[in-house]
Structure 1
């Protein structure tokens, strides 16, 4: 496939490497000379303008940090107008389902489709080809871009129509964040029972309470350290899920109490 790529950073760069390694023709936005040299070494073709990324592309993958950046690239610039009719924009950034809808409305005027496809995992998962992808959009559009997504994603899960990928990812991140909050409560209980946090974290991963959140906490040595490490991306996602739930009349229920516990950890620096 002819792939355009915007956002070759911490997550995007290993995606570009996997895409090029799988034989796709990849054009990537590179702002600086150093960035362009690094992208060439990955087997990609660096370009200096967003419109150049879109030229002749079957799909353009957007993997930037924030919802605001997605809107700036897709709604505030000339990306969509430069894409060929019948091509697809894939939004890897976790954000509001409303952003995916807004981009799709604008893209439709140019004969371009949109797939919202937030990811779960890190650079090491991309490098291993096992990143989890939640794809929302029409089945035909997901099928069009699947050869590209398969370069670094496994599983690639089609979870429903446009916006469904974002909704599933937001629920996933709310649950993950809530689990960290619950661990803060567990550490507090253990200390009340005379067990220190280090001893607790050494034991629980081997028992039925094991989880990905617990593994991360154990690796960092404490709930507070892990919460601080993931707060940069997780905090913005929790804000979005709270806002989305409110807009849609949803109820976070017990998740909200656990999220508030996480808020407390970040505010005080301790469980």
Structure 2
């Protein structure tokens, strides 16, 4: 994402908790800041990509955090997948500094970003999302504005809940096909063109049916499923039982050594 932004000639300042993460930008016009506050001071738009709620709050709210350095009128975009309530809490803190917050989790991975095909799910004031859109469009298509702050997170969590359920279905499908003496690769081609295809099945097929990558992603899938279920409980909405069972089945299947 950062590479696409700087390649489109936007002035770019970077900061990372592991400074080595910025080494790949030595051949670009990007400037590396020494602290989140310095990053904020250099930016009118900050795009944040870290793992969890606590990470987002730390980078933005600590004494030398982004909000401490950013001038009034700035916008912070949270690309991390976190709780909608965390975004709203941060927005309350930022409002006192006249800084706007947009939640805009993404889906698709680094390859999609390089091809300008990442999916951005945005929540926030329409004017703030529109202000960010030209930058988003350096790495994303489509950019979908889903409603008020937190809407992007809610939609991403639902997406990941469904994807987690689909992974188990895909694993079971290919195992079933193999037991029937069918060629998994041929079945995957059929699913890719047929009504039974899913993104999970396509990912498994592209990996040569090696589950190592999905097993590495299990902690993130578990995090997002847990958040989705907690959001539903807080809203007093009953989650679809079958979807929850399938997601739990997937997480159980991925809790072990890789298969191929």
With normalisation by structure 1, the TM-score equals: 0.85
Cα contact 2:122–2:129 (8 A) shared by 1: yes
Cα distance in 2 for partners of 1:64, 1:214 equals 27
- With 242-251 and 79-88 compared, the bigger mean Cα shift is at 242-251
217 and 31 in structure 1: CA distance in 2 versus 1, 3 angstrom threshold: closer
Residue in structure 2 matched with residue 45 of structure 1 by the alignment: 31
- Please say if 1:260 is aligned against 2:234: no
Q: How does 1:3-22 map to 2 (within 5 A)?
A: 15-22=1-8
Cα distance in 1 for partners of 2:185, 2:23 equals 45
Cα contact 1:104–1:114 (8 A) shared by 2: yes
Provide, for residues 163-199 of structure 1, a one-character-per-residue CA deviation record: whole Å limited to 9, x for no partner. Answer: 0000000001111111112223434544565547566
Cα contact 1:62–1:92 (8 A) shared by 2: yes
Residue in structure 1 matched with residue 220 of structure 2 by the alignment: 233
Q: How does 1:170-249 map to 2 (within 5 A)?
A: 170-190=157-177, 193=180, 195=182, 200-201=187-188, 203-222=190-209, 224-225=211-212, 227-249=214-236
Provide, for residues 137-179 of structure 1, a one-character-per-residue CA deviation record: whole Å limited to 9, x for no partner. Answer: 0001111111211111111110000000000000011111111
For structure 1, the residue ranges without an aligned partner over 5 or more in a row are 1-14
Cα distance in 2 for partners of 1:158, 1:210 equals 27
Cα contact 2:191–2:198 (8 A) shared by 1: no
Matched positions, count: 257
Cα distance in 2 for partners of 1:242, 1:145 equals 30
- Please say if 1:54 is aligned against 2:54: no
Q: How does 1:51-200 map to 2 (within 5 A)?
A: 51-77=37-63, 78-190=65-177, 193=180, 195=182, 200=187
User: For 1:23, which of 2, 5, 9 is the aligned residue?
Assistant: 9
Cα distance in 2 for partners of 1:211, 1:33 equals 37
For structure 2, the residue ranges without an aligned partner over 5 or more in a row are none
31 and 214 in structure 1: CA distance in 2 versus 1, 3 angstrom threshold: closer
